[in-house]
Amino acid sequence: MKSQTGPYVVVVAAFVALAVVAPAAAQSEQTPPAAQPLETADDPPAQTQSAPRVLLPPAPIRQPYWSASAGFEADTHDSGYGFAGPTYVRPFRPNMAVVAGANLNYLYYEYPTGGGHTNVRSPGINTRAGLRFGDRNYFQLAAGPGFKRRHIEIVDASGAVIESSRNTKVGLNIGADLWVNPTSHSNVFGLASYNTEDQYLWSRLAFREQITNHDWSGGFAHFVGVEAIGQGNQDIRSTQVGAFFEVAHVPSSMSVMVRGGYKRSFYDFGPDRTGPWVAIGVWHRLR
């Protein structure tokens, strides 16, 4: 029986400090008592006047919006992941928003078993809802039900299928996102996503630098970046590093990202595998 091990976990940690400025209390000057004139019955009572209190208007709440994203990743180890779906963000107070979304996805991978290997093909649907804390820099948590249709084939050393099964699984998928902008033209992004149907974890930490169109006056902006990814479950665990190039079309709020790098996969049975991986992603903010 195949031993069960927990997925390879990449932990993304960050702390955002908020500065609180306390207003200085104004001190009014008073005339020494000896220099004040004596009051008579005809004099009005002395009154101390203070400056009127200024009430600041509440911070504006941003308009809600939709976005759509899609992506596909593949490597030389016969494993990959694809997804496509919308996301809705509705701020309801300063620095807080409700988020919700869904996507169609397809996970596939293989791992060695005995002298052969096992193929897993797992299309599904994920839905999530949660909260976003922050604005320019934010942390987000979301969760929801997920559905998978898993097809598993066990193949012997000659390539013949000796066992095949199909089943539908219902579970929970949980995600956390962290978005920090150290400068107006750089960004650090971390995420972790786990679903119970495949018991699969996917985590990523990336740094992105804008290299053109810093004032957003032109039609296109270009970015370069680096990333590290950890993913897997009880069948396969992988670590990968790489770089990416992104082109954003400013008028349409659409961007296309091409990614690639080096990947190493680990298995309970069979040798480790190494090789390149490539990916492409598309993101579009809808009006």
Decide if 5 is inside a domain. Answer: no
Q: Is residue 223 part of a domain?
A: yes
Q: Which two tokens stand for residue 63?
A: 């308009």
For residues 241 and 263, give the distance between their C-alpha atoms in angstroms, rounded to a whole number. Answer: 7
The number of domains in the chain is: 1
As a whole number of angstroms, the distance between CA 38 and CA 141 comes to 69
Does 53 reside within a domain? no
Q: Which amino acid is at 153?
A: E
Tokens 């807080």 map to which residue? Answer: 96
What was the pLDDT predicted at 38? 34
The answer to whether residue 104 is domain-embedded is: yes
State pLDDT tens for residues 159-189.
Answer: 899 999 999 999 999 999 999 999 999 999 9
pLDDT of residue 269: 83
Q: What is the pLDDT along the chain (287 residues), one digit of tens a residue?
A: 344 444 343 333 333 333 333 333 333 333 333 343 333 344 444 444 455 566 666 668 889 999 999 999 999 889 999 999 999 999 999 999 999 999 999 999 999 987 899 999 999 999 999 999 999 899 999 999 999 999 999 999 888 999 999 999 999 999 999 999 999 999 999 999 999 999 999 999 999 999 999 999 999 999 999 999 999 999 999 999 999 999 999 999 999 999 999 999 999 888 899 999 999 999 999 86
Q: Is residue 266 part of a domain?
A: yes
State which residues form the domain around 244.
65-286
- pTM, two decimals, is 0.77
Is 16 among the domain residues?
Answer: no
CATH assignment at residue 93? 2.40.128.130
Neighbours of 261 (CB within 10 A): 18
**Cβ 254 vs Cβ 247: under 8 Å:** no
pLDDT at 62: 87
